Structure 1
Amino acid sequence: MCEQLDLFDSLVPAGVVSFDRDEPSVTRSGITLRAHVVGTYALDGTWMWAWANDSHRDSPIAARSGELRELGERTGVPELTEPMPDLNHFPDPRLAADHLLLMCMGLLDARGGVICAVNERGRLFMVVDDPAVPRAEPRPARLTTALRNGAALLPGPALKPVQGWFARHGVEPVYGPGRVEGVLDGGDRVVVTLGDEEVTGVEVTGPGGGAPGCGTAGEQELEEARRSPDAPHRTFPRPLLAVAAREMAFSILRTRAMVQYADDHLAFDGRAPLWDEQAGELRFPGGGLTARRLGSYDAEEGWFRWAPGTEDIRDRFRHAAGLGAAEAEDLPELSGERLDLTAYGPREAVAVALARTAANVAGHTFTSLGNHFLVVTDERLSGTGTIDLDAAVTDIRGGASWLQGLVEQETRDETMRSLARSYFERLGLQVWHYGQPDFISGVTGLYEVRVYFAPDGTITHVAPGMVMGAPL
């Protein structure tokens, strides 16, 4: 499956992901393929099978997860029959979820796998079983990586996964001291040397001992895959993303401070305030806050538009992103025209990230009334209150939740670390890096907030505690 997934990722490159529950299918980088959800992973370290998930189990996209449950019932494998297996007994529960997807691919003989970051709180796992994706044929680099990784992923002797690879390619293995070898269909010879629990070497040679024929074979291609020009294809521009990473969590803090002010001084009773367009005020039972329109969006129709008169706020956004006039003209996200959100994967996240970031770089507070965004400019909201580490956890997780689905893999680590680091700096907390690469800390006195990262940069956990105390 490592070999198959390697081929799949080369044919269907990483990009914006969307899925159709009824078809069922997944679209990545404009390529649509038949696919099924097998499970989801949450920050608490649990995996939920699609057949047990209220959001998926009654839709066609969860059908193949039911096959896994049936297999578990026949073979007595509780991990396949428990609705929500707990992965916390693994050293890295999140990585265990990734490995579980590989196993699901193998059990269902799938052609590929897709992981979709739903938000900061969870990830969705899909297997691709579309015949448009070919079965992986041996190629020297790919098979070498696959044999090494396949043995490393499973505990115990490396011989078993090596035998599995030979069997998948219909190769009769020949055994020698610390080695297994066999001949591929084209006459190339594969020799695998083994340690106790690892593959120590892989050699591929041609029939006469020279260069292997599979090394010069052309790369495999998709067969009649559907290209979907109207599928989500646009990613959040990197210059704007860098600004959003610095601003989002602090914007959430500002909004929370506004709510607290309204509760303390304006008799806020939990009901949504009223917008007085003529007075330019957001009215609470005990008074109002000066505000102005910022923008609006329609998630169902798929559009976002800045409100008239917000050129000054958008200019601040452009300046924060270091964009010149010519560069800014190429970004529809900051123009006054209606922005087509259907070009993006997470539509609402795009609209909220744009509006929140713009409000914060302008030095104001973001709030919303339904699908209408407002920027609160009232000077009484200049402070953010005292440092509250529990609230900091909420702010950072909230900011990550909005941004996680907008970040491309290659910039995720940089972006999410910037989100945490910038928030700490804005609060005046010392940023400590003693836990790198696993976490960074915001420190005040004897206490800290730790932000933990997965190897791909995803924020997996945020928690307060004593400085340099036990793992949180």
Structure 2
Amino acid sequence: MDTFSNALLSFARGNLGGAIEQYSAFQEQVPNGRMRMEHATGTAWIGDRELNRSGELGTFAEDSTFMWAWAKPDLAGLPGVEHALRLRDIGVRQGIPEFTEGLLDFGGFPDPKLAADHLSLIALGVLRARGSMKFNHGGRAYAYLVTDDEELTCATPDPARVGEYLRIAALLLPGDGTQDVLTGYARWHGLTTRPAADGMELVLPGGHRLVARIDAQDNIIDAAMVDPAGEPYTPATAARPESRRVPPFVPDDLLAALAPMVPITMGLQGGLLDFAAGLRDIERPTATWDPAHGRFGFAELPAVSIAAVEIGRYDRDRRRWAWAGNEWAGTAAVRRLAREHGAGHLAAAGVDLTVIAPHGENAIDVLSAAAVQLGDAVGWAFVPDDEGYRVLALTDERITEPGADPDLACSVFDAAANLLHPLTDSENRYRTMREMVAGYFRRYDVPAIDAGEPHLLLGHFGLYEVRVEFGVDGAVSRTGFGMIGDALTGIP
């Protein structure tokens, strides 16, 4: 699909103003923090804040599909899907396909994840819930939650903010419907509306009035608040509560510096596959490591012996990374770079990753991928052991580094975006993702063009053009390639 159905749009508009208002109130009541959901009890947590009467709405995947929680067999009958089931029942009664189809494909939307965000906001309004949230659970995938915890306060009309909320609501969905937004907000709070010369008035408790100007096509032109005396309303200048950003585990500047090395290192896999004849035919090769002689290989290919150096080891049970006790140049360089960017905790001999669980291994992969590049290695390898795994840099001069091509570029961009995404937030996501792509292009001398900045970056590989699209949140939303010129009109 490339747009929401008319059934959903017409049903949702009346709830949008109240939903935006309630979402804002929820954000002010609950501080930022790590999220998790317990479906068996219908309980969610944000940091240490427990939220009862909570549940999963659904999940958005990297392939731009959204799956409702009620459509997941392993969640059937659990309290954590009751909110999603309520939406499905509403969808059946109102004839809304987006609520009744278990899997929705948002690939046709200009920004698929933004469509999922809008669906979540619509759900908050339709359910009249007290809050909604989303959290990254791996790659670029998100889980969307909703809560109706009774300890959360329901928003009340604030003259200083109502105009802002209703303007956003009127512009959020395609098509006309400003009057539906205003009358729906009035029903939400039991308020009165009345016609005005060039639009509609909304009467708030205490006598304040929102005067909305609406054109002949039912589009909002302006919305101004007046006080009970009919004078323009000037809200008090008290500062709104601001959420404090949690310091990132990998600092912004450091992550942007490391980001290009991730797809470059991922692209080295082809060199190993070409060198180790027969490796492509083994479904799950067993990696081996001989630290005494510095040799890496595979149990199924005893004749293959590759020079390598250990970067470090990860203990999964303890969620702890330990840099190898050698003096290899790549390891030393990445640890030095971490210290230069104020991340001494990443340069320490042992790195505690419990604070960013479950994404600690993402940080390991970024650091070790950078070590491979900074040490001029020709490959990257992982060798499991009883408690976790060791990460190696392949240094064998017999392995030839493969070049870049459009298909490989798209593949490593997608893989690197999945790896980097959980380490980013709204403050640094676009910078990190863009530098990941641009740095890769620089490494292989690929001419790059900004098209529609900040939404599109193109790289020219001879007659072919790689297209990387970014969403409004800065995430990599799509990659693809085609003949030069085709990318600008859309690659199938």
TMscore range, shorter length: 0.7 to 0.9
Q: 1:58 to 1:276 in 2, by over 3 A?
A: farther
Q: 1:101 to 1:310 in 2, by over 3 A?
A: farther
Amino acid at match of 2:209: R
Q: 1:467 to 1:218 in 2, by over 3 A?
A: closer
Indicate the residue corresponding to 2:251 in structure 1. Answer: 237
Aligned pair 1:107/2:120, yes or no? no
Indicate the residue corresponding to 2:68 in structure 1. Answer: 49
Among 374, 377, 380, the alignment partner of 2:391 is: 374
Task: Tell me, yes or no, if the aligned pair for 1:233 and 1:345 is still in contact at 8 Å.
Answer: no
Aligned pair 1:160/2:180, yes or no? yes
Indicate the residue corresponding to 1:171 in structure 2. Answer: 191
Distance 2:389 2:34 in 1: 26
Indicate the residue corresponding to 1:200 in structure 2. Answer: 221
Distance 2:181 2:159 in 1: 18
Task: Tell me, yes or no, if the aligned pair for 1:140 and 1:215 is still in contact at 8 Å.
Answer: no
Distance 1:358 1:136 in 2: 50
Among 263, 274, 277, the alignment partner of 1:260 is: 274
Distance 1:213 1:445 in 2: 59
Aligned pair 1:7/2:25, yes or no? yes
**DSSP-derived class of the 2:350 partner:** coil
Indicate the residue corresponding to 1:347 in structure 2. Answer: 360
How many residue pairs match? The answer is 459
- In the TM superposition, residue 56 of structure 1 has moved relative to its aligned partner by 4.4
CA RMSD of aligned residues (A): 3.1
Amino acid at match of 2:290: D
Q: Deviations over 1:358-415 (max 9, x none)?
A: 3332222321123323223423266422333212211111100101111011211111
Amino acid at match of 2:265: S
Aligned pair 1:445/2:459, yes or no? no
Amino acid at match of 1:293: E
Distance 2:220 2:209 in 1: 17
Deviates more, 1:232-241 or 1:151-160: 232-241
Distance 1:54 1:318 in 2: 45
- In the TM superposition, residue 141 of structure 1 has moved relative to its aligned partner by 4.5
Task: Tell me, yes or no, if the aligned pair for 2:311 and 2:393 is still in contact at 8 Å.
Answer: no
- In the TM superposition, residue 36 of structure 1 has moved relative to its aligned partner by 1.8
Aligned-residue identity in percent: 27
**DSSP-derived class of the 1:374 partner:** strand
Indicate the residue corresponding to 1:70 in structure 2. Answer: 89
Task: Tell me, yes or no, if the aligned pair for 1:266 and 1:288 is still in contact at 8 Å.
Answer: no
Distance 1:71 1:254 in 2: 51
Q: 1:338 to 1:452 in 2, by over 3 A?
A: closer
TM norm structure 1: 0.87
- In the TM superposition, residue 350 of structure 1 has moved relative to its aligned partner by 2.3
Indicate the residue corresponding to 2:209 in structure 1. Answer: 189
Task: Tell me, yes or no, if the aligned pair for 2:458 and 2:467 is still in contact at 8 Å.
Answer: yes
Deviates more, 1:66-75 or 1:451-460: 66-75
Q: 1:219 to 1:240 in 2, by over 3 A?
A: closer
Indicate the residue corresponding to 1:225 in structure 2. Answer: none
Aligned pair 1:421/2:438, yes or no? yes
- In the TM superposition, residue 165 of structure 1 has moved relative to its aligned partner by 1.3
Indicate the residue corresponding to 2:348 in structure 1. Answer: 335
**DSSP-derived class of the 2:267 partner:** helix
TM norm structure 2: 0.83
Amino acid at match of 2:196: G
Q: What is the correspondence of 1:168-317 to structure 2 with a 5 Å cutoff?
A: 168-195=188-215, 196-210=217-231, 212=233, 215=236, 235-263=249-277, 270-284=284-298, 285=301, 286-309=303-326, 312-317=329-334
Task: Tell me, yes or no, if the aligned pair for 1:235 and 1:344 is still in contact at 8 Å.
Answer: no
- In the TM superposition, residue 88 of structure 1 has moved relative to its aligned partner by 4.1
- In the TM superposition, residue 13 of structure 1 has moved relative to its aligned partner by 5.2
